[in-house]
């Protein structure tokens, strides 16, 4: 039996008839108001204190068109029959909280078919809502996923506005709560009571929200710490360790694996992130909400569609960052619908294209170059060097002749002196010899470099390599229909595992109650690609910083408890989303292979021209290098 709605009255003492509960949390429940369509009552489980009641009471007088359009702004204070304040009237709003759009797996279920453009537009609207609140002299304070609802058309509403910091008639009504993973460094670890929140504090939280949205749920301060000890997100924020920033090495942080670089958002938005997360901005100067609106509006205009995967959109200044991530992880960041065999049907003329590829003229082998052998082998020894080697023998022969002719011992000493004198006369100058040796060494290096360049640039290797790649691409394209059928059959064979994975994906870690794993640890897991029970595997959680054996065991135990609830249904058939992924993969491969083959004729023609030009260009250089090497060798030999 459902619980009877509480009896409440508005600020004028009029009773309100509440309908059914449409939402419930740890602090309050939300009821329909049957007498006022479009209005709901947020009733706290316990009476609220006088300060909060006073804030809610004055908030309707602050309302304006902007706040009414972009927030669920309080309309009135509600009390129970005893006169105790227990809640407030607010406009009824619809949408999913921001986490469902940031997280790829939640996005596939809650926002199917959306792409990166939708994320850019949604977070631009979030920035507009922040700007409207700030223009009204208010501060959000408790920035977090749950405070933002996003509709299917990317419009947004800020909710839980009764926690905002507001000013009225010179009195400040504070915000006493906050989520650490969205809290700026200067407020980390501090009690919020007595703290005057500022727009600059909000601007940090807005930058976090924007980063999470554009980077698929990855937190900017979640990464691998290269120093000693653990680095939870809250500590990384406090110590200003932006894992994706240009200073990441100096703060000893590396971004998680399978994450894109900061540059994917374009230069302007990249600089906004750098400013928002800089130590210098703690006292002021973070990009304002209006700055983000301007930067993100420009970003949306600068995105283009990926040439391989039609569901991927990215900044025009970069290649697609999503394709390599999906290829590396096997995950699907942005879903796309493909009908039947559309992925392999088309009018691509492979036979005609291949004839053009085969018609490309081969450059032939590199011509044999003159002087291709070692320069040293082609240089004859000079007379001085040869004579020096023969000198002792000639003098010895002369001495023997003199001995037999009876010239005696004095001739012996004369011969010895002659050898020494002639040796001294023919000995090279040491400085000249050293200089000649250095010239020979340098000439040899130049010659070796010229030969290597000739072999690599004047030879046909690059042409042959591209031709081999094109042959492989042709075979792969021809086999795609069979590959598609095999993959679809594999889905049928793996039906039980796929059903289990789909079941486990329904259990998000963000919503789970796991002992010792709070918001910060959950955000760290998500930043390393672990979103649901299906992602919890021993190898994957071992790679997450701060998760030792105890935490790993708790995660694995939670997954096991979820898995025990699974029941396989053999009659259910293959999930259409799994089939769509196969079709999308086949389509992406087909486009890649076709694009490679289409470039083939022009690429081969260009390579042939480059090779022939290299032969003309390098010929003179090779000849000069050879001549210099020969001359250097001659000089060295002439010096003995």
CA dihedral 473, 477, 480, 483 (to 10 degrees): -20
Both tokens of 287, joined, read 């990009």
Which residue do the tokens 């900017």 mark? Answer: 220
Per-residue pLDDT at 77 exceeds 80: yes
52 phi, psi to nearest 5 deg? -70, -40
Per-residue pLDDT at 264 exceeds 90: yes
pLDDT per position as a tens digit, 366-383: 887 755 544 444 444 444
Per-residue pLDDT at 401 exceeds 60: no
pLDDT per position as a tens digit, 352-364: 999 999 999 999 8
Of 141, 205, 128, 204, nearest to 167 by C-alpha is 141
Per-residue pLDDT at 326 exceeds 80: yes
H or E segment at 386?
helix 383-404
pLDDT band at 526 (very low <50, low <70, confident <90, very high): very high
Mean pLDDT of 469-498: 94
Per-residue pLDDT at 122 exceeds 80: yes
Percent of the chain with pLDDT over 70: 88
Per-residue pLDDT at 448 exceeds 90: no
Percent of the chain with pLDDT over 90: 68
What pLDDT score was predicted for residue 455?
Answer: 80
Of 485, 482, 489, 478, nearest to 590 by C-alpha is 478
Secondary structure percentages of the chain, helix, strand, coil, to 5: 55, 10, 35
In angstroms, rounded to a whole number, what is the distance separating the alpha carbons of residues 293 and 299? Answer: 10
Cβ-Cβ contacts under 8 Å for 323 (sequence gap 6 or more): 306, 308, 309, 312, 588
Per-residue pLDDT at 447 exceeds 80: no
In angstroms, rounded to a whole number, what is the distance separating the alpha carbons of residues 141 and 510? Answer: 21
Of 183, 218, 189, nearest to 202 by C-alpha is 183
Cβ-Cβ contacts under 8 Å for 338 (sequence gap 6 or more): 580, 583, 584, 587
What pLDDT score was predicted for residue 166?
Answer: 97
In angstroms, rounded to a whole number, what is the distance separating the alpha carbons of residues 96 and 154? Answer: 10
H or E segment at 96?
strand 96-97
Which residue do the tokens 């290649």 mark? Answer: 319
Mean pLDDT of 60-75: 96
pLDDT per position as a tens digit, 139-192: 999 999 999 999 999 999 999 999 999 999 999 999 999 999 999 999 999 999
Per-residue pLDDT at 636 exceeds 80: no
More confident residue, 385 or 449: 449
Per-residue pLDDT at 495 exceeds 50: yes
Walk me through the domains of the chain, giving residue ranges and CATH numbers. 8-91 (3.30.200.20), 96-335 (1.10.510.10), 375-457+613-638 (no CATH), 477-590 (no CATH)
Q: Is the distance from CB of 251 to CB of 226 less than 8 angstroms?
A: no
Which residue do the tokens 């959306």 mark? Answer: 114
Buried b (16+ CB within 10 A) or exposed e, 159-173: bbbbbbbbebeeeeb
Per-residue pLDDT at 394 exceeds 80: no
Write down the pTM of the prediction. 0.77
Mean pLDDT of 427-456: 78
Q: At what angle do helices 549-563 and 495-505 cross, to 10 degrees?
A: 110
Both tokens of 564, joined, read 């025990």
Q: Is the distance from CB of 213 to CB of 119 less than 8 angstroms?
A: yes
Per-residue pLDDT at 614 exceeds 60: yes
In angstroms, rounded to a whole number, what is the distance separating the alpha carbons of residues 232 and 42? Answer: 34
Per-residue pLDDT at 51 exceeds 80: yes
Of 73, 84, 93, nearest to 6 by C-alpha is 84
Q: For all residues of the chain together, what is the average pLDDT? A: 88
Q: Is the distance from CB of 261 to CB of 273 less than 8 angstroms?
A: no
Q: Is the distance from CB of 533 to CB of 558 less than 8 angstroms?
A: yes
338 phi, psi to nearest 5 deg? -120, 130
Buried b (16+ CB within 10 A) or exposed e, 114-147: bbbbbbbbbbbbbbbbbbbbbebebbbbbbbbeb
């Amino acid at each position: 039996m459902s619980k009877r709605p509480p009896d409440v009255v508005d600020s004028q003492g009029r009773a309100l008839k509440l309908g059914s509960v449409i939402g419930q949390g740890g602090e309050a429940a939300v009821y329909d108001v049957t007498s006022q369509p479009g209005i709901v009552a947020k009733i706290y489980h316990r009476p609220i204190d006088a300060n909060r009641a006073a804030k809610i009471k004055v908030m309707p007088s602050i309302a304006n068109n902007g706040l009414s359009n972009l927030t669920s702004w309080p309309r009135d204070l509600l009390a129970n029959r005893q006169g105790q304040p227990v809640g407030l009237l607010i406009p009824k709003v619809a949408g999913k909280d921001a986490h469902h759009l940031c997280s790829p797996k939640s996005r596939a279920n809650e926002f199917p078919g959306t792409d990166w453009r939708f994320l850019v537009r949604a977070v631009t609207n979030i920035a507009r809502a922040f700007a409207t609140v700030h223009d009204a002299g208010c501060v959000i304070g408790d920035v977090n996923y749950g405070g933002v609802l996003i509709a299917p058309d990317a419009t947004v509403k800020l909710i839980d506005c009764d926690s905002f910091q507001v000013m009225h008639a010179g009195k400040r009504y504070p915000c006493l709560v906050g989520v650490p993973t969205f809290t700026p460094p200067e407020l980390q670890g501090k009690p919020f009571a007595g703290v005057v929140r500022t727009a600059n504090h909000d601007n940090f939280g807005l930058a976090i929200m924007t980063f999470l949205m554009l980077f698929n749920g990855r937190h900017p301060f979640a990464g691998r710490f290269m120093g000693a000890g653990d680095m939870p997100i809250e500590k990384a924020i406090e110590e200003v360790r932006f894992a994706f920033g240009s200073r990441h090495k100096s703060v000893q942080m590396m971004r998680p694996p399978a994450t894109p670089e900061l540059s994917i958002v374009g230069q302007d938005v990249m600089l906004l992130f750098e400013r928002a997360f800089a130590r210098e901005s703690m006292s002021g100067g973070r990009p304002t909400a209006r700055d983000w609106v301007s930067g993100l509006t420009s970003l949306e205009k600068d995105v283009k569609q990926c040439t391989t995967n039609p569901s991927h959109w990215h900044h025009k200044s970069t290649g697609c960052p999503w394709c390599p991530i999906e290829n590396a992880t096997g995950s699907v960041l942005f879903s796309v619908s493909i009908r039947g065999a559309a992925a392999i049907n088309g009018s691509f003329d492979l036979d005609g294209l291949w004839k053009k590829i085969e018609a490309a003229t081969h450059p032939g082998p590199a011509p044999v170059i003159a002087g291709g052998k070692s320069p040293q082998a082609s240089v004859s020894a000079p007379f001085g060097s040869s004579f020096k080697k023969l000198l002792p023998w000639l003098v010895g022969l002369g001495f023997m002749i003199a001995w037999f002719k009876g010239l005696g011992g004095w001739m012996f000493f004369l011969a010895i002196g002659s050898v020494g004198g002639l040796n001294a006369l023919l000995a090279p100058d040491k400085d000249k010899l050293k200089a000649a040796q250095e010239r020979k060494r340098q000439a040899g290096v130049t010659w070796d470099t010229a030969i290597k360049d000739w072999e690599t640039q004047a030879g046909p290797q690059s042409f042959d390599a591209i031709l081999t790649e094109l042959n492989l691409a042709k075979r792969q394209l021809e086999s795609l229909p069979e590959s598609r059928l095999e993959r679809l059959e594999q889905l049928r064979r793996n039906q039980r595992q796929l059903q289990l994975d789909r079941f486990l994906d329904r259990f998000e870690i963000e919503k789970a109650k796991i002992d010792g794993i709070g918001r910060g640890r959950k955000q760290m897991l998500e930043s390393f690609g672990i979103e649901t029970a299906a992602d919890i595997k021993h190898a994957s959680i071992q790679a997450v910083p701060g998760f030792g054996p105890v935490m790993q065991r708790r995660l694995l135990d939670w997954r096991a408890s979820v898995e025990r609830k699974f029941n396989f249904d053999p009659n259910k058939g293959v999930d259409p989303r799994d089939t769509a992924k196969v079709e999308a993969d086949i389509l992406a491969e087909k486009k890649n292979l076709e694009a490679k083959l289409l470039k083939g004729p022009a690429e081969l023609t260009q390579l042939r021209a480059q090779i022939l030009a290299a032969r003309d260009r390098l010929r003179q250089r090779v000849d000069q290098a050879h001549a210099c090497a020969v001359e250097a060798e001659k000089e060295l030999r002439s010096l003995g």
